[in-house]
């Protein structure tokens, strides 16, 4: 797979430079072979870029693909070899015995390097011998779209209903058809409208409905339909347009793009036209096409663009009002469409009685499925509101007898990839995948690891992309920022569906359409990328060099018979597998592992099970979230490349000091699970129990995220050490007391400039936050948090700190047990970016809470939970005008002025009386 090989090659070149920095010059052949490998890799990388852009119908595509696969295997082996040597040299000392030891260790490395050089030469020679890829072929230009403004402008379109009829009437006012003769003399800027949605969501059908409408023939003097994806460049698009606009006798043979564009403009200026550019995939294509469109045309002229990509739709139109977003059908609409299509087919294999029963099906009856229609609910889940999927499967079901429907449903993933009757939906989805930029394809394909119908956590995916090296560096951007832009691009391209969006517009969870995931699973197996092992998972494709292994339950097949473990880069466990975790991790074959993820699997893992985790020397990502482990082995400190360690909601009470030896650690998340009301989502407590800060925390100079640490029993020097973590962005601390508050305040001042997230929790027994700095007005240099976006305070504070009410970048504030009153809440009213305010667990102790006129202008979400002393909440007429979500739980109070709000989501307890 060429795009993955390119990522590997780029990473390898960086690893070679790292190796050079370690002064690996003990043997003469090492630097020479290293330079040769680096130069050859750069050349191969350029050729791989050509393979990425080759069309599947190219005569040499299959051979070039095999060649790229060989390069990928070679690149993986090189990465292992280089990293093992970097690991060995990391412990190098200046002592003579160590020097001799490294010299001896370097000899086998030199032999491996020579062997790799020979293999690189063979791969390069094979390309030349068969003339697979030539340098004069076009290479894809790796440009990442900037989506910040696009995302903020388009989120409303993506999440709210958008009536097609209303949009159509606004874009194409049919009542003007009778005024053609008078309006023909008028001119105006050419109107451009766009239809955007996921592949297979009926975009082309909507555009064709307008194009073929009888009123269009009356209103427009000429109409032209162009399917842009069928043409290689704008020149061919222009030639086709001229064929439609001109008489055959007036044609010439010019292929000059500028001349063709001028000729089209002259033709269109004289007519009232309707142009449809279907399946536009790049904004660069539109920039070239629009040169042929007159800036001013006869009044009523219209251009319609259909695309899967939101930023393309926005780039083509002058206003988002001219964009129609096609959302997926609701379950009720999907069932109606499926029934109508199957009944209209007049399936001779359905009896009259069956048809009557089928016609009476509704959503309630599907909750208790009965034969022969007990698979309909599963079919609807597989279609997930995608119109083309529903139409395709309806046609397939209509051709089968009812007793075969269940069998068809079980075989659907395989049928989707192989059955000719499903060609249309398969080709649409594969084309959508292939149209992704090369740097996005491996990232999207990686999502096939996650189970069907599961909400996938955005942060989990981002951290795993980084650990796998799938995120390419960009000048001036951290890898984390680049990874988030990758995620936004997938959203922008309608490749993933958001399932939970925070009020500050950040994405929390998403899903992949089930049919798209089936396609990804088949491509992953075909490309030897990943496989899932479980009770009902297929082993039809058994390969040796798979890179990603997912265990999803018990299987009657032994892993060793299916997969060569030595090549596995990631191991993900969702449900308890047949093999024990201890046996897998102890296996010497798993030494290439980069990612070990056992989060949410509820496995009973012990310290003994993972005692050999330190031997996984390449490991970058270790996620034990919600597992039952109670202690980490000391060998955890032997992982020189580890970037993320997540032991949140486990039974671990203390981190070993060896954790501070992880020099490359960027994300350390830890908390102890507590058994109480936290298990009840409506009555959850504020936070899990924190873990003590380990000694030597200042050694983690790359750390960006650290939570939740308890400083109650730490000495002043250990609290001071936190202030030396210059790259810290996300910090969660508990156990703040009067005794340690002075030292902690100094530490907070040192790191305040870099923080974007801050959680501060007072000690549960005698702690208070009132000791924190409150007013900074008299100081020469007031405490400032220029980047702070989220703050959570847990504990009595007495008065709202000045630095909080003046943190203009704050978007989220959550308060627990703070004992505040009305004047303290009023100090937050003018924060311009605040979108979420949560008052929880007696954080507010007055009997009345008033939201005044013009206060909290940007607030969108308000939570009031477990405020036992609160009796009345009042919203004045002009207060919180942007509020969309209101939750009041575990309170008995009167609510006044609710009618002044434009709420979309309301969650009120029975104890709330509306006045």
Cα angle value 341/347/351 (rounded, 5°): 120
Lowest mean pLDDT among 330-334, 356-360, 553-557, 609-613: 553-557
For residues 221 and 225, give the distance between their C-alpha atoms in angstroms, rounded to a whole number: 14
Q: Which of 770, 769, 810, 764 is nearest to 786 (CA)?
A: 810
Q: Is the pLDDT of residue 565 over 90?
A: no
For residues 458 and 441, give the distance between their C-alpha atoms in angstroms, rounded to a whole number: 17
| Per-residue pLDDT reduced to its tens digit, 534-558 | 776 544 445 556 889 888 877 766 7
Residue 839's H or E segment, with its range, is: strand 836-840
For residues 847 and 844, give the distance between their C-alpha atoms in angstroms, rounded to a whole number: 9
Lowest mean pLDDT among 302-311, 430-439, 469-478, 714-723: 469-478
Q: Which of 621, 629, 550 is nearest to 582 (CA)?
A: 629
Superfamily name and number for 528-669: Ribonuclease Inhibitor (3.80.10.10)
Highest mean pLDDT (candidates 18-22, 233-237, 789-793): 789-793
Query: Which residues fall within 8 angstroms of residue 319, CB to CB, at 6 or more apart?
Result: none
Q: Is the pLDDT of residue 772 over 80?
A: no
Lowest mean pLDDT among 450-454, 493-497, 608-612, 778-782: 778-782
3-state secondary structure 680-704: CHHHCCCCCECEECCCCHHHCCCCC
Which one is the CATH code of 144-168+187-325: 2.40.50.140, 3.10.100.10, 3.30.360.10, 3.40.50.300?
3.40.50.300
The band of 89, judged by pLDDT with boundaries at 50, 70 and 90, is low
Q: Helices 61-90 & 2-21, crossing angle to 10 degrees?
A: 30
* Mean pLDDT in residue range 561-587: 79
pLDDT score for 182: 42
Q: Is the pLDDT of residue 608 over 70?
A: yes
Q: Is the pLDDT of residue 509 over 80?
A: yes
Query: Per-residue DSSP letters for 558-596?
Result: -HHHH--GGG--EEEEEE--SS-HHHHHH-GGGTT--EE
Say how far residue 279 (Cα) sits from the centre of its chain. 24
| Per-residue pLDDT reduced to its tens digit, 704-733 | 999 899 988 877 888 899 999 999 999 999
For residues 527 and 524, give the distance between their C-alpha atoms in angstroms, rounded to a whole number: 5
pLDDT score for 321: 83
Helices and strands (H and E) in the chain: how many: 31, 31
pLDDT over 70 percentage in the chain = 76
* Mean pLDDT in residue range 375-388: 91
End-to-end CA distance of the chain: 64
pLDDT score for 106: 54
For residues 508 and 621, give the distance between their C-alpha atoms in angstroms, rounded to a whole number: 20
24 within 8 A of 101, measured Cβ to Cβ: no
Length of the chain (residues)? 915
Secondary structure E strands in 105-233: 187-189, 191-197, 222-227
For residues 363 and 334, give the distance between their C-alpha atoms in angstroms, rounded to a whole number: 10
pLDDT score for 876: 92
Across the chain, what does the average pLDDT equal?
80
| Per-residue pLDDT reduced to its tens digit, 47-73 | 666 666 666 666 666 677 777 777 777
For residues 625 and 601, give the distance between their C-alpha atoms in angstroms, rounded to a whole number: 9
- Per-domain residue ranges for the chain? 1-130, 144-168+187-325, 331-426, 436-522, 528-669
Query: Which residues fall within 8 angstroms of residue 910, CB to CB, at 6 or more apart?
Result: none
- Beta-strand relationship, 644-650 and 667-672: parallel
Burial 489-520 (b: 16+ CB within 10 A, else e): bbbbbbbbbeeebebbeebebbbbbbbbbbbb
643 within 8 A of 665, measured Cβ to Cβ: yes
pLDDT score for 362: 87
Give just the sign of the alpha carbon dihedral 230, 231, 234, 235.
negative
Top-level class of domain 436-522: mainly alpha
726 within 8 A of 688, measured Cβ to Cβ: no
For residues 799 and 533, give the distance between their C-alpha atoms in angstroms, rounded to a whole number: 56
The phi, psi pair for 571, rounded to 5°, reads -125, 120
Record the tokens describing residue 239, joined without a space.
């030639």
For residues 772 and 796, give the distance between their C-alpha atoms in angstroms, rounded to a whole number: 11
For residues 520 and 449, give the distance between their C-alpha atoms in angstroms, rounded to a whole number: 9
| Per-residue pLDDT reduced to its tens digit, 129-166 | 666 655 444 433 343 444 444 444 444 444 444 567 77
| Per-residue pLDDT reduced to its tens digit, 644-676 | 999 999 899 899 999 999 999 999 999 987 754
Q: Which residue bears the tokens 């964009």?
A: 323
Residue 273's H or E segment, with its range, is: strand 273-278
Q: Cα–Cα distances in Å, from 830 out to 801, 809, 852, 900?
A: 15, 12, 11, 20
For residues 13 and 26, give the distance between their C-alpha atoms in angstroms, rounded to a whole number: 21
pTM: 0.86
Q: Is the pLDDT of residue 187 over 80?
A: no
- Greater model confidence, 502 or 463: 463
The phi, psi pair for 139, rounded to 5°, reads -110, 135
For residues 681 and 92, give the distance between their C-alpha atoms in angstroms, rounded to a whole number: 51
For residues 366 and 375, give the distance between their C-alpha atoms in angstroms, rounded to a whole number: 9
Beta-bridge mates of residue 509: 457, 500
Record the tokens describing residue 730, joined without a space.
């996300």
pLDDT score for 146: 43
Q: Is the pLDDT of residue 93 over 60?
A: no
pLDDT score for 661: 94
Cis peptide before 851 (omega within 30 of 0): no
The band of 34, judged by pLDDT with boundaries at 50, 70 and 90, is low
Q: Is the pLDDT of residue 574 over 60?
A: yes
């Amino acid at each position: 797979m060429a795009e993955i090989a390119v990522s590997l090659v780029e990473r390898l070149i960086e690893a070679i430079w790292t190796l050079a920095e370690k002064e690996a010059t003990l043997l003469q052949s090492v630097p020479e072979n290293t330079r040769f490998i680096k130069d050859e890799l750069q050349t191969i990388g350029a050729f791989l870029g050509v393979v990425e852009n080759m069309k599947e119908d190219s005569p040499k595509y299959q051979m070039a693909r095999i060649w790229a696969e060989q390069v990928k295997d070679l690149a993986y082996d090189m990465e292992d070899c280089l990293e093992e040597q970097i690991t060995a040299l990391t412990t190098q000392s200046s002592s003579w015995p160590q020097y001799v030891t490294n010299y001896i260790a370097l000899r086998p490395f030199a032999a491996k390097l020579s062997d790799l050089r020979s293999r690189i030469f063979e791969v390069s020679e094979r390309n030349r011998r068969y003339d697979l890829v030539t340098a004069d072929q076009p290479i894809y230009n790796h440009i990442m779209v900037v989506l910040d403004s696009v995302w903020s402008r388009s989120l409303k379109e993506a999440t709210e209903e958008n009536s097609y009829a209303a949009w159509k009437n606004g874009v194409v006012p049919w009542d003007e058809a009778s005024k053609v003769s008078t309006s023909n003399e008028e001119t105006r800027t050419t109107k451009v409208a766009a239809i955007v949605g996921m592949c297979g969501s009926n975009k082309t059908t909507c555009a064709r409905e307008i194009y073929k409408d009888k009123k269009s023939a009356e209103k427009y003097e000429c109409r032209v339909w162009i399917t842009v994806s069928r043409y290689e460049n704008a020149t061919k698009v222009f030639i086709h347009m001229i064929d439609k606009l001109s008489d055959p006798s007036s044609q010439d043979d010019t292929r000059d793009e500028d001349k063709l564009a001028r000729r089209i403009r002259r033709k269109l200026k004289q007519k009232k036209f309707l142009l449809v550019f279907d399946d536009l995939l790049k904004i660069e294509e539109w920039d070239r096409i629009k040169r042929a469109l007159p800036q001013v045309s006869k009044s009523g002229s219209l251009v319609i663009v259909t695309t899967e990509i939101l930023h393309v739709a926005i780039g083509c139109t002058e206003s988002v009002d001219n964009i129609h977003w096609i959302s997926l059908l609701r379950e009720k609409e999907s069932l109606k469409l499926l029934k109508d299509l199957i009944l209209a087919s007049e399936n001779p294999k359905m009896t009259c009685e069956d048809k009557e029963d089928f016609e009476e099906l509704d959503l309630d009856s599907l909750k208790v499925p009965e034969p022969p229609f007990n698979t309909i609910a599963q079919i609807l889940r597989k279609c997930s509101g995608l119109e083309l999927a529903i139409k395709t499967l309806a046609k397939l079901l209509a051709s089968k007898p009812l007793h075969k429907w269940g069998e068809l449903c079980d075989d659907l993933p395989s049928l989707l990839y192989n059955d000719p009757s499903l060609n249309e939906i398969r080709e649409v989805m594969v084309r959508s995948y292939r149209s992704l930029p090369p740097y996005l394809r491996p990232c999207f394909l990686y999502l096939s690891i996650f189970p069907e119908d599961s909400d996938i956590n955005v942060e989990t995916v981002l951290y795993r992309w980084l650990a796998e090296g799938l995120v390419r560096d960009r000048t001036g951007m951290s890898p984390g920022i680049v990874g988030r832009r990758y995620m936004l691009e997938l959203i922008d391209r309608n490749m993933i569906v958001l399932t939970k969006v925070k009020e500050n517009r950040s994405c929390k969870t998403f899903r992949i359409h089930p049919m798209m995931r089936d396609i990804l699973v088949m491509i992953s197996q075909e490309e030897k990328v990943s496989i899932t092992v479980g009770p009902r998972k297929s082993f039809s494709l058994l390969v040796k060099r798979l890179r990603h292994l997912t265990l999803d339950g018990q299987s009657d097949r032994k892993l060793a018979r299916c997969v060569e473990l030595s090549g596995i880069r990631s191991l993900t466990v969702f449900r308890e597998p047949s093999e024990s975790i201890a046996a897998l991790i102890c296996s010497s074959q798993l030494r290439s592992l980069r990612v070990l993820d056992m989060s949410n699997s509820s496995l009973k893992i012990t310290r003994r099970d993972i005692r050999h985790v330190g031997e996984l020397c390449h490991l970058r990502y270790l996620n034990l979230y919600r597992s039952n482990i109670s202690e980490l082995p000391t060998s955890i400190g032997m992982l020189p490349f580890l970037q993320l360690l997540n032991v949140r909601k486990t039974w671990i009470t203390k981190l070993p000091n060896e954790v501070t030896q992880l020099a490359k650690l960027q994300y350390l998340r830890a908390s102890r699970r507590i058994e109480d009301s936290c298990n009840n989502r409506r009555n959850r407590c504020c936070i899990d129990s924190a873990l003590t800060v380990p000694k030597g925390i200042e050694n983690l100079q790359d750390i960006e995220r650290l939570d939740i640490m308890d400083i109650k029993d730490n000495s002043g020097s250990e609290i001071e050490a936190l202030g030396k973590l210059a790259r810290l962005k996300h910090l969660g601390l508990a156990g703040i007391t009067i005794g340690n508050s002075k030292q902690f305040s100094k530490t907070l001042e040192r790191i305040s400039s870099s923080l974007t997230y801050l959680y501060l929790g007072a000690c549960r027994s005698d702690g208070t936050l009132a000791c924190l700095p409150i007013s900074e007005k008299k100081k020469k240099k007031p405490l400032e948090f220029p980047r702070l976006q989220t703050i959570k305070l847990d504990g009595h504070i007495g008065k709202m700190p000045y630095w909080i009410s003046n943190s203009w970048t704050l978007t989220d504030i959550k308060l627990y047990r703070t004992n505040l009153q009305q004047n303290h809440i009023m100090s937050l009213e003018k924060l311009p970016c605040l979108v979420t305010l949560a008052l929880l667990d007696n954080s507010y102790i007055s009997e009345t809470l008033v939201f005044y006129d013009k206060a909290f202008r940007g607030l969108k979400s308000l939570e009031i939970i477990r405020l036992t002393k609160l009796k009345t909440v009042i919203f004045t007429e002009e207060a919180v005008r942007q509020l969309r979500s209101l939750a009041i739980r575990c309170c008995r109070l009167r609510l006044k002025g609710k009618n002044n709000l434009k709420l979309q989501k309301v969650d009120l307890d029975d104890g709330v009386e509306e006045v």
